[in-house]
Structure 1
Amino acid sequence: MAEKLKIAVIPGDGIGWEVVPEGIKVLEAVGAKHGLEYDFTEFDWSCERFHKTGKFMPDDGLEQLKTHDSIFLGAVGFPGVPDHVSLWSLLIPIRRSMNQYINLRPVRMMKGMKCPLAGRGPEDIDFWVVRENNEGEYSEIGGRLFQGTDNEMAMQETVMTRKGCDRVMRYAFDLCQRVGKKKVTSATKSNGIIHTMPFWDERFEAIAKEYPDIATDKFHIDILTAQFVLHPDWFDVVVGSNLFGDILSDLGPAVAGSIGIAPSANINPEGDYPSMFEPVHGSAPDIAGKGIANPIGQIWSGAMMLEHLGHQAAADDIVKAIETVLSEAGPKTPDIGGQAATKDLGDAIAAAVK
């Protein structure tokens, strides 16, 4: 009897409604091959729902999600709803209520992709960004005073805890060991941010001592972004705070050829709550409805979901199928130099899986 996985599906906004069906198509193809079945439940939580009802999700929405094995998300945000409203009404509550304190994003150039960096190929760009996902710069502590006057002010507090720093750093070192890499790089800014970043550095040094066989280095975030472009081959696993990890994990896939192929995972490593898997690209309102969005980020996120749920062989088959289609002159969407539709690329990857 096939194992049935209970998956909450949130297409969200914009191209989410175009790429999520392709992700599901590939999940079903690999499921048929590996004896996996799915119980998909779709939720219409989105900016459109917010316009209609004043809420992104029902009051018990988070409790509904907790009954699932995993969450498969498309994108959040669309013009007409301020970004901070959409993010703090849907994505961040899920990440925090489910204790998804790890955001994991592979950065990899695949064969068949065109790199924007001269002289770089797939052998040069293959690393991971581990982002702290629950605290740091994205805290809710702060506020505004004297709004609408010349004395108006805004204050936002960064929160870094020993527990929060240690667990994301240990995850980065454990990942480095698990995937056979050699070095963990810390993103910092302790020369300009006087309290939180020296604390981050101290915790990184302390955790590094637990892993004597793994090399380490650290870069201030400004020069680190430059080195992503100049020397992407320097990096194996990069760990950063919520803000720094967010920036680096968008820059990385752009350097690798297209943000359209980049997946991500919001992980609760202990398994106490479902983890959530989503592409990096966002809702892309400029191309929404045109049927030309690249579905690889969503499809690859599905592979990360299966890996997290313990189905490594199925996950590997999805990644291999993506590699095959990209490297063997298969259909390509406009962002990676082709003219194919979203569905064409999804169909090709599903066929390659089979």
Structure 2
Amino acid sequence: MKQLKIANIPGDGIGKEVVAAATDILKTVSEVHGGLKFEFTEFQWDCRYYLEHGAMMPEDGMERLSQFDGIFLGAVGDPNLVPDHVSLWGLLIKIRREFEQSINLRPAKVIKGIRSPLLNPKDFDIMVVRENSEGEYSSIGGSMYRGDDEIAIQNAVFSRKATERAMRFAFELAKKRNGHVTSATKSNGIIYSMPFWDRVFEDVAKDYPDIQADSQHIDALAAFFVTQPDRFDVIVASNLFGDILTDLGAAIMGSIGIAPAANINVNGKYPSMFEPVHGSAPDIAGKGVANPIGQIWTAKMMLDHFGEEELGSVLLNTIESVTNDGFLTRDIGGRHTTQDVTDEIIARLKKN
């Protein structure tokens, strides 16, 4: 039997509710289908922890997390308690950077029973591979002066190593899907980093002659996400472009509350981390109305990462059967609670 040690970090707000829901579902998957056992350890590292200790995690936090096979994260941040840049850089981004989680995967597809705001979504099924370690989100820059003379400089950093790594990941993923990779660029306006990005993409594409490859400027690509989302398969994008595209992907699915994500360490040195795209939503925290599907779909991505694609497919199909039968939270036009949706998914998993 395969045993997986998972560090649960529910985080703030609705993270506590949806992580609990998705953990119950993962336990059900392992109980019903056998061959897999999860051992969960929970860490209450959140903004209230920061208020008490002056940090988002203890000094040995990263060392403790390194002992796990994976990290299951809920949501980070409560601006009413701690500024977002403090909470994010102290926990989420710290884990991403120090554990070399250089790839961020975010799918967007039509989910049965959830109405897309698009008139004709045509069953789109997109996977965005976002470079997750540098690019526009590098921490290089600075500011000087104040008042009318104030200046802020933010440097974007693109290395061939990280750029090529994300692109090769995208091409390898396309082999398992529909054989098409689109590069998100803006080389007609950003004169150094994006032409470099294009050159690396062209070099990598030569090693994959059986994969269809094309490039789209990010502004046009954003428009095509709305008008022709079904034309895309795998999209590879820089840190900023990937971040924006995937929030748009969540919107055309029908709610950011259903969008999952995975932060992948590709060298095997450290655990990967799995988190939904949505935030902590402090306005609805504790009310029992949060949509658990983003976290549960994230659990499916974790199963896939550990080589349990068949179980992952069972879980996603079960989610879709539940949503298709109208078990929806209010953010997607329903009236059911977090627990209602969770209980129904568990019940159907036990019947399969």
Distance in 2 separating the partners of 1:165 and 1:321: 36
Q: Is 1:136 matched up with 2:132?
A: no
What is the percent sequence identity of the aligned residues?
A: 57
Q: Is 1:353 matched up with 2:322?
A: no
Q: What's the RMSD between the two structures over aligned residues?
A: 1.1
Paired residue secondary structure (2:7) = strand
Match of 2:283 in 1: 286
Q: Give the aligned residue type for 2:248.
A: L
Shift of 1:259: 1.4
Shift of 1:145: 1.1
Distance in 1 separating the partners of 2:346 and 2:47: 30
| Residues 158-180 of structure 1, C-alpha deviations (whole Å, 9 max, x = no match) | 0000001100000000000022x
Shift of 1:186: 0.7
Output aligned runs, 1:242-257, within 5 Å: 242-257=239-254
| Residues 187-231 of structure 1, C-alpha deviations (whole Å, 9 max, x = no match) | 111111111111001101111111111112211111211110011
Paired residue secondary structure (1:321) = helix
Q: Give the aligned residue type for 2:38.
A: Y
Paired residue secondary structure (1:25) = helix
Match of 1:337 in 2: 333
Shift of 1:93: 1.1
| Residues 228-286 of structure 1, C-alpha deviations (whole Å, 9 max, x = no match) | 00110110011100000000011112112221111110001232210000101111122
Question: Normalized against structure 2, the TM-score is what?
Answer: 0.96
Paired residue secondary structure (1:91) = helix
**Stretches of 4+ moved more than 4 A in 1?**
none
Distance in 2 separating the partners of 1:317 and 1:183: 25
Q: Is the 8 A contact 1:239 1:245 kept in 2?
A: yes
Output aligned runs, 1:1-354, within 5 Å: 2-35=1-34, 36-80=36-80, 81-121=82-122, 123=123, 125-146=124-145, 148-179=146-177, 181-329=178-326, 331-354=327-350
Mark the runs of 5 or more structure 2 residues left unpaired by the alignment: none
Mark the runs of 5 or more structure 1 residues left unpaired by the alignment: none
Paired residue secondary structure (1:141) = strand
Q: Is the 8 A contact 2:121 2:230 kept in 1?
A: no
Distance in 1 separating the partners of 2:109 and 2:343: 22
Distance in 2 separating the partners of 1:69 and 1:83: 28
Distance in 2 separating the partners of 1:113 and 1:76: 26
| Residues 57-76 of structure 1, C-alpha deviations (whole Å, 9 max, x = no match) | 01111111000000000001
Aligned residues: 348
Question: Normalized against structure 1, the TM-score is what?
Answer: 0.96
